[in-house]
Amino acid sequence: MVRIGSVEEGELPALLSAAAVFVHPTWDDGFGYPPLEALACGTPVVVSDLAITRELLAPHALRVGSDDPRRWADAIDHALHDAAHRETVARVAPTWTSRFGVDRLGARLVHAYRRTLARSGSAPPPRARRQASSQHHVVDEVGPRGADRAQPHA
């Protein structure tokens, strides 16, 4: 086991790809990005059995539903030495994790907000229009053309 502390974001994929196994024993039901990033690199993962890890990582991560060190050791040993499991993770997990990219999650979140607003009877905010300016910058406008721009003082 190697504890490396903080690393630059650009170094993370190489470190995760080089790891024999990524172990994430936590009982905090956070979003689960570290193990998801390891799977995206094709690295076998052993995690706590939480609702979020079942949803995000299943069936590709080994989940341990106990704080028993022996069960963790067994799962880590399996991740290290089961060639079929390692090959499956390396081949299938990167495609699986692509479902959770930032763009896809953002679009799903916007869709969920709009659906919730529609159910509540509230009108969703107007969609922003994107327009290229003469300097090749992108300008966002909301509402009638130019209505959100400051008016010059006379």
88-92, 106-110, 148-152 — which is least confidently predicted? 148-152
Residue predicted with more confidence, 11 or 129: 11
The answer, yes or no, to whether residue 1 has pLDDT greater than 50, is yes
The answer on pLDDT for 93 being more than 90 is no
Which residue has better confidence, 60 or 117?
60
Whole-model pTM: value is 0.63
Domain 9-100 coded CATH 3.40.50.2000: yes
Q: Scan for tokens 């910058």, then name that residue.
A: 137
pLDDT (mean) for 39-52: 90
- Please report, for the chain, the start and end positions of each structural domain, with discontinuous segments joined by +: 9-100, 103-141
pLDDT of residue 31: 65
Beta carbons within 8 Å of 56's beta carbon, 6+ residues apart? 31, 32, 35, 36, 100
